[in-house]
Amino acid sequence: MSSLPPGLIFILGAVLLPLLPGKIRSATYLVFPLLAFATIVNLEVGSSLVVPVLSWELVLLQVDRLSLAFGYVFIIMTFLGGIYAFHVKDVGQQSASLLYAGSALGVCFAGDLLTLFVFWELMLVGSSLLIWSRRTAQSGRAGTRYFLVHFVAGILLLAGIWLHMDKTGSLLIGPVAGSLASTLILISFAVNAAVPPLHAWLPDAYPEGTVTGSVFLSAFTTKVAVYALIRCFAGFEPLIWVGTIMAIYGVVFAILQNDVRRLLSYHIVSQVGYMVAAVGIGTEMAINGATAHAFTHILYKALLFMGAGAVLHTTGRSKLSELGGLARSMPLTLILYMIGALSISAFPLFSGFVSKSMVVYAAGQNHMGAVVLLMYLVSIATFLSVGLKLPYFTWLGSDRALRPSATPVGMYVSMALTAGLCIAIGVYPSLLYDVLPFTVTYQPYTMAKVVETMQLLGFTGLGFWLLVHRLEGKNYMTLDTDWFYRRLPGLVYVLAYRLFALLGGQRAHVFFRGLPGLLRGHAVLTGRRIYEFSGSLPTLANRLARGLFDVSGGRQVYERTLPLFREYSRDIALGALFVAVLLALFLILTLV
Burial of 416 (0-12, 13-18, 19+ CB in 10 A): middle
User: Is pLDDT above 80 for 431?
Assistant: yes
Is 108 domain-assigned? Answer: no
3-state secondary structure of 125: helix
Of 155 and 463, the one with more pLDDT: 155
HSE-up (13 A, CA, CB side) for residue 541: 23
Among the residue ranges 253-262, 296-305, 545-554, the one predicted with the least confidence is 545-554
76 part of a folded domain? no
Backbone angles phi, psi at 21, to 5 degrees: -60, 145
Residue 400 inside a domain? The answer is yes
* Range with the poorest average pLDDT among 216-230, 279-293, 576-590: 576-590
Mean per-residue pLDDT, 519-527: 33
Name the domain boundary from 445, 480, 515: 480
Asked if residue 452 lies in contact with residue 361, where contact means CB atoms within 8 angstroms, the answer is no
Nearest to 304 by CA among 361, 265, 346: 265
Give me the phi and psi of 122, to 5 degrees please.
Answer: -65, -35
Q: Is 535 left (phi over 0), alpha (psi -120 to 50) or beta?
A: left
Last residue of a domain, one of 434, 465, 480: 480
Q: Are residues 378 and 488 in the same domain?
A: no
Same domain, 535 and 474: no
DSSP symbols for 186-237: HHHHHHHTT-TTS-THHHHHGGGS-TTHHHHHTTSHHHHHHHHHHHHHTT-T
Residues 362 and 472 in one domain: yes
Straight-line distance from the first to the last Cα atom of the chain, in angstroms, rounded to the nearest whole number: 47
429 and 324 in a common domain:
yes
Residue 322 amino acid letter:
E
Residue 547, pLDDT above cutoff 50: no
Q: Say if residue 445 is in the same domain as residue 496.
A: no
Q: Quickly count: other Cβ atoms within 10 Å of residue 440's Cβ.
A: 18
Which residues neighbour 88 within 8 Å (Cβ) at sequence distance 6 or greater?
26, 94, 210, 212
pLDDT at 528: 31
Specify whether 446 is located in the same domain as 327.
yes
Q: How many separate domains does the chain show? A: 2
Residue 507 lies in a domain: yes
**172: β partners:** 112
Cis peptide before 197 (omega within 30 of 0): yes
179 found inside a domain: no
pLDDT of 266: 95
> What are the angstrom distances between the C-alpha of 364 and each of 160, 367, 443?
34, 5, 14
Pairing status of strand 48-53 against strand 56-62: antiparallel
Q: Are residues 404 and 513 in the same domain?
A: no
Residues sharing a CB contact under 8 Å with residue 94, sequence separation 6 or more, in sequence order: 17, 25, 26, 29, 85, 88
- Residue 251: pLDDT over 80: yes
Residue-averaged pLDDT of the chain: 84
The CA distance from 90 to 530, in Å, is 39
pLDDT value of position 557: 28
Residue 501 has pLDDT above 80, yes or no: no
pLDDT of residue 491: 64
Cα gap 462→481, rounded to integer Å: 33
Q: Is residue 415 part of a domain?
A: yes
pLDDT of residue 504: 53
What are the Cα distances from residue 174, in Å, to 182, 255, 386? 11, 38, 37
The rounded distance, in Å, linking the Cα atoms of 403 and 330 is: 10
- Examine the pLDDT at 154 and tell me if it is beyond 60: yes
Q: Letter for the amino acid at 243?
A: G
What is the spatial distance between Cα 131 and Cα 142, in angstroms, rounded to a whole number? 8
Q: DSSP H helical segments within 256-330, as ranges?
A: 260-281, 284-315
In a domain, 27, yes or no: no
Owning domain of residue 419: 234-480
- pLDDT tens-digit series, residues 126-143: 999 999 999 998 898 889
Query: pTM of the entire structure?
Result: 0.84
The pLDDT of residue 554 is: 31
pLDDT tens digits along 433-467: 999 999 998 999 999 889 988 988 888 888 888 88
| Residues 281/362, Cβ–Cβ less than 8 Å | yes
Whether residues 421 and 550 share a domain: the answer is no
Backbone angles phi, psi at 142, to 5 degrees: -65, -40
Better-scored residue on pLDDT, 322 or 540:
322
pLDDT at 167 over 80: yes
In the predicted model, is pLDDT for residue 558 greater than 60? no
Q: Tell me: do 403 and 534 sit in the same domain.
A: no
| Residue 314 CB contacts under 8 Å (≥ 6 apart), including other chains | 330, 404, 405, 406, 407
Q: Would you say 297 and 343 are in contact if contact means Cβ atoms under 8 Å apart? A: no
| pLDDT for 97 | 96
